[in-house]
């Protein structure tokens, strides 16, 4: 294992990795949303914004090519595990690889750092907020509020694939009240609404 110290790729290098592996625009936008939320939490906790953002940006980069999470698919070809293999092959630091793995419960990596708890907490929530924006007449994040997210939260048929229990668990692990957590992530996404295709009439 001895060798030169591994460095975390730059944000641009991480984005190039995403573009190489992900053609689906919505998936790219999901990762941009998670990056923004991770940067917001890094600022809140006084952590390394570039590092946190990069982990958020690449966390699902393998999902398009390796969507399976279980079943009879070999572990090394499942989502997250395949990504971890690729990141290691490309020389990413092991800490970063483990941080990316931590967002999937089945990967077995403990969420024992603020970064890992934040990644888990924001991942599903960005999807719910996006879904709320898309059903607004304006299709704009600027017209989404914490209250409108909470209203749709109660409708279990709305964005049914979003794991609301995971969001609640993540916020609790972070020690952030749920409404405050929604507000932090919503504000982070509103700041990059155009990149997310959710700036309404400006699109």
pTM of the model: 0.92
Of 42, 89, 36, 91, nearest to 59 (Cα)?
36
**For position 202, what pLDDT does the model report?**
46
10-23, pLDDT tens digit by residue?
999 999 999 999 99
99-143, pLDDT tens digit by residue?
999 988 887 899 999 999 999 999 999 999 999 999 999 999 999
Confidence of residue 3 (pLDDT cuts 50, 70, 90): very low
Per the CB < 8 A criterion, the answer to whether 58 and 52 are in contact is no
**For position 176, what pLDDT does the model report?**
97
Please give the Cα distance from 66 to 79 (Å, whole number). 5
Q: Average model confidence (pLDDT) for the chain?
A: 90
Per the CB < 8 A criterion, the answer to whether 27 and 68 are in contact is no
Residue position matching structure tokens 């279980």: 70
The CA–CA distances, whole Å, from 112 to 101, 128, 138 equal 12, 25, 40
Please give the Cα distance from 61 to 198 (Å, whole number). 21
User: 31: part of which helix (H) or strand (E)?
Assistant: helix 25-45
**For position 68, what pLDDT does the model report?**
55
The CA–CA distances, whole Å, from 1 to 4, 71, 93, 173 equal 10, 32, 12, 33
Sorted by where each starts, the structural domains of the chain and their CATH numbers stand as 11-202 (1.10.3210)
Of 71, 70, 123, 127, nearest to 99 (Cα)?
123
**For position 105, what pLDDT does the model report?**
80
Check whether 26 has a pLDDT greater than 90: yes
Please give the Cα distance from 162 to 94 (Å, whole number). 29
Per the CB < 8 A criterion, the answer to whether 138 and 171 are in contact is no
**For position 70, what pLDDT does the model report?**
63
160-188, pLDDT tens digit by residue?
999 999 999 999 999 999 999 999 999 99
Confidence of residue 194 (pLDDT cuts 50, 70, 90): very high
In terms of pLDDT, which residue wins out, 78 or 64?
Answer: 64
Per the CB < 8 A criterion, the answer to whether 34 and 121 are in contact is no
Check whether 190 has a pLDDT greater than 50: yes
């Amino acid at each position: 294992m001895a060798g030169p110290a591994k460095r975390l790729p730059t944000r641009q290098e991480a984005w190039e990795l995403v573009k190489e592996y992900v053609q689906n625009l919505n998936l790219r936008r999901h990762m941009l949303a998670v990056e923004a939320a991770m940067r917001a939490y890094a600022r809140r906790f006084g952590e390394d914004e570039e590092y946190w953002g990069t982990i958020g940006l690449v966390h699902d980069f393998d999902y398009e090519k390796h969507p399976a999470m279980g079943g009879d698919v070999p572990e090394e070809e499942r989502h997250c595990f395949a990504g971890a293999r690729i990141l290691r092959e490309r020389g990413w630091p092991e800490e970063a690889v483990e941080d990316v793995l931590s967002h999937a419960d089945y990967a077995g990596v403990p969420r024992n750092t603020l970064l890992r708890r934040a990644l888990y907490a924001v991942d599903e929530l960005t999807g719910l907020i996006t879904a709320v924006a898309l059903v607004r007449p304006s299709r704009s994040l600027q017209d989404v509020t914490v209250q409108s997210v909470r209203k749709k939260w109660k409708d279990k048929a709305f964005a049914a694939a979003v794991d609301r229990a995971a969001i609640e668990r993540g916020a609790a692990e972070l020690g952030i009240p749920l409404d405050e957590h929604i507000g932090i992530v919503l504000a982070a996404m509103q700041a990059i609404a155009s990149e997310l295709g959710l700036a309404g009439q400006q699109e």
